[in-house]
Amino acid sequence: MSGRRETGMVATAVGDGAMAAAAGGRVRTIAIASGKGGVGKTNVVANLAIALRRRGQRVIVIDADLGLANLDTLLGVNPRATLRHVLHGECTIQDVLVEGPAGIYLVPAASGFEDLTQLTHTQRLLLLEQIDSLDGAFDVLLLDTGAGISANVLFFATAAQETMVVVTPEPTALTDAYALVKVLSTRYAEQHFAILVNMARGEFEAKRTFTHLSRVAERFLHVSLHYLGYIPFDAEVPEAVRRQRPVLELSPGSSVSRAFEALAERVVAGAEDAPPKGGLQFFFRRLLTEERR
């Protein structure tokens, strides 16, 4: 497809340079989820990853929307293999790892394959083995989950150290965000959620949206919601998506780009509050533990 960056496979990426020197470090895992589709979650993931990289964070993004993946398209990269090939035993995760804009790394998934919409126990074990090879190579792992409350979404969200829920001011988005928080809290005992309001038409609308969600969740679910801020509605975003470039690169001076930079600052500042749950190995071992509940 024209306009997409040809990156190919980065078979030796994890063993080279500064990433190898970081072996033994701890990765911060953040699942970015949404109750419904169309709230701009994947766009948030792409731009947040770049903004974090600009702040010296070594960032890896896993496209965890395994059956309807499109993060590679949004980032303008053209992978030759995906997690589907890994899960079928055709290659390793290093073979599918690709470098994206600003030096972030992406583990792409495939789109249009029903067999990936609900991973089996065997596939999760294989994923654990493959992801273990990346431990110590990155500072931040962002998981772009699917929308809704499917098995895969809950699988990834319950295992991450932190869960960021993306919501828009629309009533349906609020209802579905509440449903996601409800399932994660009542079934998996998750109690802390960061809320990002996307496509808001100003701070007042964003805070009103958060307040509405927070009051209902705290009253009926007894969970803690943390307001992470908002990303304003900006016509530059759909244009960036159309051109398959992150808005941070296409329009660095726009209001939405400044908001993503500010979001990254808040995420970095909140690192000290992240639960000390260990590295990637712990992350995926907890996934398997959650599955047996």
More confident residue, 125 or 234: 234
Residue 179 zone, left/alpha/beta (φ > 0; ψ -120 to 50; rest): alpha
CA dihedral over 229, 27, 30, 59, signed as positive or negative = positive
The reply to whether 140 falls in a domain is yes
The reply to whether 84 falls in a domain is yes
The reply to whether 7 falls in a domain is no
The reply to whether 95 falls in a domain is yes
The reply to whether 15 falls in a domain is no
- If one counts the domains in the chain, the total is 1
**Domain range holding 100?**
25-286
Instruction: Indicate which CATH number applies to the domain containing 119.
Output: 3.40.50.300
The reply to whether 8 falls in a domain is no
Joined tokens for residue 247: 């808005």
Please, are residues 140 and 164 in contact by the beta-carbon 8 Å criterion? no
The reply to whether 66 falls in a domain is yes
pLDDT of residue 292: 58
pLDDT of residue 88: 86
The reply to whether 20 falls in a domain is no
Q: Between β-strands 28-34 and 140-147, what pairing exists: parallel, antiparallel or unpaired?
A: parallel
Query: 103-112, 142-151, 218-227, 262-271: which has the minimum mean pLDDT?
Result: 103-112
pLDDT of residue 2: 39
Question: Residue 25: pLDDT above 60?
Answer: no
Please, are residues 148 and 176 in contact by the beta-carbon 8 Å criterion? yes
Residue 224: strand pairing partners: 192
Q: How confident is the model at residue 175 (pLDDT cuts 50, 70, 90)?
A: very high
Question: Residue 134: pLDDT above 80?
Answer: no
